[in-house]
C-alpha cells in the first residue's frame, strides 16, 4: 500500500476538548471532525504538535501508541498543562508519570474522588490526577500518593489557584435558552453546550453548577436529555467495534423526535451535521433541513 510508510497519528479528545482553536482547525472546512493525520516521519508529527501548541490554549504532546492494538503510531494528547502555565511539569509528562496516572485513573474508575463526576470515554468532565503529598514536600508519583479529581475539584484543592466567580444559575439558564433560540437545531452534546456558554457567550460557568441548571431545565422547562451512541471500528483491520455514549441536551419544543439525533464524527440531526447547534452551509443542502431551519426564522 502507498501509505504503509506514513506515520499515522490520532488526535485524542483531550487535545481539543475545551480547546476551541484546535477543534475549529480539525473541523475546517466542512464542519466534520477529523482527528486522524498522516506524516512522513515522527519528526514531522512533532513539528505539527509545536504548531498546535502555538494555536491553542492547551499544551499538547506526542504519545507513542506502539503497544496499542490499532493502526496508529502515536496520539496527540493533552499534557494537563494550559498555555498559561497551570498543570503538569515536563518531568510529570514522562512515560513513568503516564503509567502512574493511568493506574490511578483506572483504580478510581475514571471518576472524581471528591464530587463523583465521571470522566473518560464514558463521562463528560475533564479528569486530572492530584498528588496527595505535593512533590515540593517530597511526594512521589506512586499511585498510593495519587487521587483522581475533576478539573474544578483539583483547582479548589489548590486554594492558591486564582479563579473567577461562576455566573449565577439564573444567568446560566437564560444563556442556555438564548443559545437554543439562536441555533439552527437546538441540540448540543452536554460538554459542547458548556463550552459554548464559556467561549461564545463569554460567561464563566462552573461545570457542577452548569449540571444543576441542566437538571432543572430538563425537569421543569422545555429542554430534555437523551443519550446517543457512537460506534467506531478500530484495530489493525478495523474489525473491532468500540462504543461510547454522549449525553445530548435539546429543546423538545422544536425537536419532537429525539431518535433523529445520532453521533458520527460529531452530533447529527436527521442527516445534518451539527456544529454547536448550527448546520454548516456546505452540508445544509445535503441534509434536507432547509425548510426546518426556515420555519425557525
Question: Measuring CA to CA, how many Å separate 93 from each of 98, 141, 157?
Answer: 7, 11, 21
Alpha-carbon Rg for the chain, nearest whole angstrom, is 20
Residue-wise pLDDT tens digits, 167-216: 788 888 999 999 888 888 899 988 888 888 877 666 677 777 888 899 99
Secondary structure in 3-state letters for the chain: CCCCCCEEEEECHHHHCCCHHHHHHHHCCCCCCCCEEEECCHHHHHHHHHHHHHHCCEEEEEEECCCCCCCCCEEEEEEEEECCCCCCCCHHHCHHHHHHHHHHHHHCCCECCCCCCECHHHCCCCEEEEECCCHHHCCCCCHHHEEEEEHHHHHHHCCCCCCCCCCCHHHHHHHHHHHHHHCCCCEEEHHHHHHHHHHHHCCCCCHHHHHHHHHHHHHHCCEEEEEEEEEEEECCCCCEEEEEEEEEEEECCCCCCHHHEEECCCEEECCEECECCECCHHHHHHHCCHHHHHCCC
List the Cα angle 118/104/10 in 5-degree steps.
70
Segments making up each domain of the chain, as ranges: 1-84, 88-163, 169-294
Q: Are 276 and 245 in contact (CB under 8 A)?
A: no
Q: Is the pLDDT of residue 1 over 60?
A: no
CA distance 68 to 10: 12
What is the value of pTM for the model shown? 0.50
Least confident interval from 26-30, 110-114, 177-181, 243-247: 26-30
Q: Is the pLDDT of residue 217 over 90?
A: yes
255 grid coordinates: 425537536
Of 162 and 128, the one with more pLDDT: 128
- pLDDT, position 2: 41
Question: Highest-confidence range of 7-11, 55-59, 274-278, 284-288, by mean pLDDT?
Answer: 7-11
pLDDT classification of 55: cutoffs 50, 70, 90 = confident
Of 83 and 269, the one with more pLDDT: 269
- Please compute the mean of the pLDDT values over residues 238-257 and round it to a whole number: 82
Dihedral sign, Cα of residue 213, residue 219, residue 221, residue 222? positive
- Please compute the mean of the pLDDT values over residues 53-79 and round it to a whole number: 79
Residue-wise pLDDT tens digits, 89-142: 333 334 577 778 888 888 888 888 887 777 765 566 777 888 888 776 777 888
What class has domain 88-163? mainly alpha
Of 178 and 230, the one with more pLDDT: 178
- pLDDT, position 216: 93
- pLDDT, position 289: 60
Amino acid at each position: 500500500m502507498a501509505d504503509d510508510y506514513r506515520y499515522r497519528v490520532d488526535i485524542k479528545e483531550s487535545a481539543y476538548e475545551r480547546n476551541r482553536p484546535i477543534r475549529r482547525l480539525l473541523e475546517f472546512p466542512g464542519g466534520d471532525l477529523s482527528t486522524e493525520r498522516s506524516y512522513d516521519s515522527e519528526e514531522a508529527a512533532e513539528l505539527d504538535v509545536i504548531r498546535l501548541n502555538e494555536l491553542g490554549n492547551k499544551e499538547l504532546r506526542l504519545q507513542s501508541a506502539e503497544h496499542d492494538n490499532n493502526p496508529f503510531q502515536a496520539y496527540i494528547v493533552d499534557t494537563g498543562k494550559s498555555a498559561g502555565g497551570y498543570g503538569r511539569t515536563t518531568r510529570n509528562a514522562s512515560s513513568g508519570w503516564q503509567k502512574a496516572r493511568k493506574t490511578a485513573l483506572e483504580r478510581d474508575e475514571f471518576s472524581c474522588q471528591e464530587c463523583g463526576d465521571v470522566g473518560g470515554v464514558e463521562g463528560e468532565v475533564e479528569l486530572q490526577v492530584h498528588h496527595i503529598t505535593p512533590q515540593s514536600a517530597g511526594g512521589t508519583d506512586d499511585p498510593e500518593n495519587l487521587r483522581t479529581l475533576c478539573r474544578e475539584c483539583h483547582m479548589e484543592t489548590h486554594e492558591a489557584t486564582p479563579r473567577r466567580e461562576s455566573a449565577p444559575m439564573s444567568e446560566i439558564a437564560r444563556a442556555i435558552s438564548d443559545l437554543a433560540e439562536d441555533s439552527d437545531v437546538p441540540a448540543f452534546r452536554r460538554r459542547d453546550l458548556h463550552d459554548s456558554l464559556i467561549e461564545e457567550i463569554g460567561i464563566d460557568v462552573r461545570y457542577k453548577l452548569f449540571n444543576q441548571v441542566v437538571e432543572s431545565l430538563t425537569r421543569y422547562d422545555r429542554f430534555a436529555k437523551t443519550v446517543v451512541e457512537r460506534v467506531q471500528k478500530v484495530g489493525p483491520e478495523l474489525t473491532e467495534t468500540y462504543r461510547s455514549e454522549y449525553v445530548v441536551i435539546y429543546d423538545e419544543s422544536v425537536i419532537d423526535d429525539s431518535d433523529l439525533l445520532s453521533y458520527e464524527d460529531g452530533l447529527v440531526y436527521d442527516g445534518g451535521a451539527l456544529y454547536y447547534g448550527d448546520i454548516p452551509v456546505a452540508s445544509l443542502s445535503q441534509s434536507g433541513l432547509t425548510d426546518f431551519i426556515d420555519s425557525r426564522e
